[in-house]
Structure 1
Amino acid sequence: MWRGLRTALARGGFTVDGVAALLGPGARAALDRGETTPARRAARNAGNSRDAGPAGTLVRLFLLGDAVPRAEAAAALEPADLDEAVAAGLLSSADGQVRAALDLRPHGDAAIPDAAPWWVLSDLEVGPATRTAGREHVLGTGAASLSLARATVRRPVGTLLDVGTGCGVQVLHSSGHAAELTATDVSERALDMARVTFALCGLDVEVLAGPWLEPVAGRRFDQIVSNPPFVPGPPQVDHVYRDSGLGGDGASALLVGALPAHLTEGGVAQLLASWLITSEDWTERPRTWLDEAARSAAPGGLDAWVVQRDVADPALHVGTWLRDAGVDPASPEGTALSERWLDFLAAEGVHAIGFGFVTLRRTAPDVAGTVVCEDLRQSHDDPLGPEIAAWLDRTAWLARHPGDALLDARLRVPDTVALERGLVGTDEGWEAVAATLVRLDGPQWRHDVDELGVALLAGCRGYLPLRDLVELLAVAHGRDPDELAAAALPVVRDLVHHGMLVAGEGYGSS
């Protein structure tokens, strides 16, 4: 049945490009805002009194949730059998009409050229017009899953594991760069939908049932991705897509600590995570997890980059996730749930909840590894994946230039970095009081630098070793070159980490 459905969807133009062409930019934008009338008009009539055909029927059926006459639906779904679709639970039938019982929508990734069309099967979206999410509710292409897809490193690998695959979104986005795909989930309902998603998309995926990493015990992968049930809350499972049952940030702690043991040497794991903030230092809890991760990586080393993308106070956190499950926080049910969640967070001493990405790389045994926790709440519209890939390259390059060895490197300031000057007015005119190095692309990192730093960076054009530049600067300013080098090296390492200084010979060189 699913092969026939795939044929019908492709032939009927129920694809990302086909739907965009049918609806037009105005109706498409309105649909994204939850306004269905413009899309419904376009789906009924493609313009100039021309019937929208099977594409219009499929849009009304699956994107708008309309009831469609059986004969019309059967024609749009041919060669798939309508009664088989009803029996499979994709559609419901009553009074000569059918409507979608599950969410089926086209999906795509512009970063994968010439990719075949994708379709994702999941439960109907939660909202006032549908229903409250059940315990086994399977999410579709939500904001969290798409953010992880945009943050994933897309380099060719042999084997890839998706832990907690849900309906299979991460596997789809990984199919363009991974030769062998494995997906796990504790929810059999989620795996059933993932199998359909993979079948519709023509993907050969190993699908395994079980909690956490149990289904792949003893195995290692070149890359691991995970959008787990990371939402901090009481130790119970109301909804499997968000609740781990471990309480607090236990799901994030478990995975961060355990994933390196399942990586090949040089393998990379990336996951969404949340952490409870109980002190002034938000990194306190993630760093304890990374200690366990380092032990898990042994005898190899560990590179780790924890990026905090958002912070919410407990009230905002609870309200957000209640609404996500279709519960009005002001309703009697919402009030009871809010009390329970807020009581739990208060007992844990939580004053905020952090959210972001964790990237882990298992290094060779002779590489100690680098651990960095950074706040990246500034605006960042570009996909984070290329920046994470570049961070891994820069970290590996720095590992090959430990200590004073960095002084032998030829570094340059890339064209994407600018120097900002802060000036204040005086009786003699404008006086410089601050200098800030700014990356104009990616995360737009900022570093304050003093005048000696400005002078040193001015010489970083990729021609002279850093050692020579430091010695010239020491002579010009009457400073001891060894003391100046000792002060400059930590700053230079930070700038390299953030892509504000790059190796003149390239990061692939030693």
Structure 2
Amino acid sequence: MGHMPDLRAGDELLSLREQLIAAGYTTDGVSELLGPVASAALRREQRLPADRVTAGPDSPLAILVRLFSLGLPVDRAAVDVALDVALDGWGTARLLDHGLVVASGDEVRAAYDLRPYADGSREWWVLSDLPESMTGRPLPVSHVLGIGGASRTLASWSLRRPVRRALDLGTGCGVQSLHLSAHAEQVVATDTSARALDIAAWNASINGVRWDLRRGSLFEPVAGERFDLIVSNPPFVITPRTPDVPTYEYRDGGAVGHTLVRDLIAALPDHLEPGGVAQMLANWEVPAGGDWRTVVGGWFAGTGLDAWVVQRDTQDPAQYAELWAGDGGHRSGTAGFEQMYAAWLADFESRDVAGVGFGVITVQRPSTDREPFRDFAEATGPVQSPMGPTVDAGLRARTWLAEVGDAGVLETRFRVAPDVTEERNGRPGAEDPSVIVIRQGGGLGRAVRVDTALAAYVSVCDGELTTAQALDAIATLLDVSPERLRTQALPTIRDLVADGLLIR
């Protein structure tokens, strides 16, 4: 499609937003029009079911969906008749003037993808470049992504505490900044791409919010500044440094391996207020015979930062190469795809990489003088959505554990969280169970295998007894040393508290 230099931000876009609402171009309106099957297919970037649903009616909503959600050509006369009235003057001429559509003969096409987006309580509109599913050809390297799986993941896992200053590092089209605007007094958003910042400015305008937009790499635009909350969906994709692989701005930060994310974390202490939190997505390389916890743990050495990292997925080098060689519209089996595939494999071989992990990193600068906590966990199954409340509670719990130590845990009266259940399994005819599992219904969906003593402890966590009192009573019943039982049980109890299975 090429660049559209006449894309204009400004207060005039508030009237467009009002008319989109009136026409029903909202998340609920589009879902109702398309139905569950076509809606689900569109989320997978498959347009055909939605095309069939919207092909008949010339309603303003159907035309808006065909134009901006499907990227299909629409008869110019239909646009003028349906939209000019329904959108109070936002017909072809005005849409052309704002750079939102292009006209060719009797047809009008969208110049950008423009879709409604909601978080459950707020409705926004997000403009981005047309995806490959609309253009039918590989993306340009300056492509600005819209709302994808990674941006949704970060938005789901991000804290929603009220904060004074928030930073969206690598904002792209501004999805994370929209969420931040709901709970931050000031939002600073940065990106290396001037095009991304232009699109972010447009999205701020139509949604009636204001951001401090700055251009530059990583923390260069905010040198010397600190924030209460930093979120980042950085260009973390591990990319070979070879001409055979395009340098997509939205995914490639120009570094070797996972260096970009490692350097980003190293700079965080200079940009977080005491008690401040940073959250980001990342990939990390794991060498043959290595462990991802050792790799990522090394990034935090000497930083003084709390770290809570959850690995959500792993891929071998070939899987990773296939995913990203095919990203952006490059088809498997073509010469270009095969060249990129080979370049990725060679790049991984040069560093003896056996696998690549993907996960969510939550970092906190301690507000008190204490040893930082480090928690590296795996959660590859379904998790609660949104995860933000779970992360917030988990971060507070881990902070409390780091501050009070084992002595504080022993003095505390815990309760079992409402979503926790117990499973007991044994051999047929056996008098006692051979496996006892404490299972969490929400959050990270933790399943913790415990022994008889720990199962007994959890069963009496009703807020009446301190941990010390409960363990001592259980030790007496089992005729074991109270000191030994405390030593054995405390690590698991701390884990149960950290992940919200036990609450204060």
> What TM-score comes out, normalization by structure 2 length?
0.91
Instruction: Answer yes or no: is the 8 Å Cα contact 1:180–1:205 preserved in 2.
Output: yes
Taking the aligned partners of 1:451 and 1:3, their CA distance within structure 2 comes to: 62
Deviates more, 1:470-479 or 1:168-177: 470-479
Taking the aligned partners of 1:200 and 1:41, their CA distance within structure 2 comes to: 30
Taking the aligned partners of 1:462 and 1:318, their CA distance within structure 2 comes to: 51
Residue 121 (structure 1) aligns with: 127
Match of 1:464, SS? coil
Question: Quick one: which of 247, 266, 269 aligns to 1:238?
Answer: 247
Taking the aligned partners of 1:37 and 1:324, their CA distance within structure 2 comes to: 21
Structure 2 residue 495 is matched with structure 1 residue 489: no
Taking the aligned partners of 1:486 and 1:38, their CA distance within structure 2 comes to: 60
Once the two structures are TM-superposed, the CA of residue 232 in structure 1 deviates from its matched residue by 1.0
Q: Aligned ranges for residues 218-297 of structure 1 at < 5 Å? A: 218-235=224-241, 238-278=247-287, 279-294=289-304
Q: Aligned ranges for residues 94-113 of structure 1 at < 5 Å? A: 94-110=104-120, 113=121
1:436–1:36 Cα change, 3 Å: closer
Residue 343 (structure 2) aligns with: 340
Taking the aligned partners of 2:37 and 2:455, their CA distance within structure 1 comes to: 49
Once the two structures are TM-superposed, the CA of residue 265 in structure 1 deviates from its matched residue by 1.4
Once the two structures are TM-superposed, the CA of residue 291 in structure 1 deviates from its matched residue by 1.5
Once the two structures are TM-superposed, the CA of residue 338 in structure 1 deviates from its matched residue by 1.0
Question: Quick one: which of 387, 391, 396 aligns to 1:388?
Answer: 391
Q: Aligned ranges for residues 148-227 of structure 1 at < 5 Å? A: 148-227=154-233
Once the two structures are TM-superposed, the CA of residue 128 in structure 1 deviates from its matched residue by 8.1
Match of 2:424, SS? strand
Structure 2 residue 14 is matched with structure 1 residue 11: no
Amino acid at match of 1:175: S
Cα deviations by residue, 1:114-164 (Å, 9 ceiling, x for unpaired): x3x421111111238522111111100011101111111112111111000
Once the two structures are TM-superposed, the CA of residue 447 in structure 1 deviates from its matched residue by 1.6
The CA RMSD measured in Å over matched residues stands at 2.1
Once the two structures are TM-superposed, the CA of residue 500 in structure 1 deviates from its matched residue by 1.9
Cα deviations by residue, 1:184-239 (Å, 9 ceiling, x for unpaired): 00000111111111111111111111111110111111111100100112236610
1:415–1:121 Cα change, 3 Å: closer
Instruction: Answer yes or no: is the 8 Å Cα contact 1:168–1:197 preserved in 2.
Output: yes
> What TM-score comes out, normalization by structure 1 length?
0.90
Taking the aligned partners of 2:419 and 2:66, their CA distance within structure 1 comes to: 46
Instruction: Answer yes or no: is the 8 Å Cα contact 1:314–1:342 preserved in 2.
Output: yes
Once the two structures are TM-superposed, the CA of residue 331 in structure 1 deviates from its matched residue by 0.7
1:35–1:502 Cα change, 3 Å: closer
Cα deviations by residue, 1:461-491 (Å, 9 ceiling, x for unpaired): 2111112222222333333322322222222
Taking the aligned partners of 1:119 and 1:375, their CA distance within structure 2 comes to: 34
Question: Quick one: which of 303, 308, 324 aligns to 1:305?
Answer: 308
Match of 1:324, SS? coil
Taking the aligned partners of 2:34 and 2:226, their CA distance within structure 1 comes to: 45
Instruction: Answer yes or no: is the 8 Å Cα contact 2:170–2:234 preserved in 1.
Output: yes
Question: Quick one: which of 371, 374, 380 aligns to 2:374?
Answer: 371
Question: Quick one: which of 406, 409, 412 aligns to 2:409?
Answer: 406
Match of 1:484, SS? helix
Instruction: Answer yes or no: is the 8 Å Cα contact 1:413–1:501 preserved in 2.
Output: yes
Once the two structures are TM-superposed, the CA of residue 375 in structure 1 deviates from its matched residue by 0.7
Residue 298 (structure 1) aligns with: none
Taking the aligned partners of 1:475 and 1:258, their CA distance within structure 2 comes to: 51
Taking the aligned partners of 2:387 and 2:399, their CA distance within structure 1 comes to: 19
Deviates more, 1:201-210 or 1:168-177: 168-177
Taking the aligned partners of 2:96 and 2:34, their CA distance within structure 1 comes to: 27
Residue 449 (structure 1) aligns with: 450
Instruction: Answer yes or no: is the 8 Å Cα contact 1:312–1:354 preserved in 2.
Output: yes
Instruction: Answer yes or no: is the 8 Å Cα contact 2:419–2:440 preserved in 1.
Output: yes
Structure 2 residue 326 is matched with structure 1 residue 323: yes
Instruction: Answer yes or no: is the 8 Å Cα contact 2:307–2:373 preserved in 1.
Output: yes
Name structure 1 gaps, 5 residues minimum. 295-301, 504-510
Amino acid at match of 2:312: R
Structure 2 residue 100 is matched with structure 1 residue 90: yes
Once the two structures are TM-superposed, the CA of residue 370 in structure 1 deviates from its matched residue by 0.8
Match of 2:496, SS? helix
**Aligned pairs, how many?**
485
Deviates more, 1:73-82 or 1:145-154: 73-82
Taking the aligned partners of 1:34 and 1:271, their CA distance within structure 2 comes to: 25
Taking the aligned partners of 2:413 and 2:48, their CA distance within structure 1 comes to: 60
1:30–1:454 Cα change, 3 Å: closer
Match of 1:424, SS? coil
Amino acid at match of 1:439: Q
Once the two structures are TM-superposed, the CA of residue 9 in structure 1 deviates from its matched residue by 2.3
Instruction: Answer yes or no: is the 8 Å Cα contact 2:45–2:133 preserved in 1.
Output: no
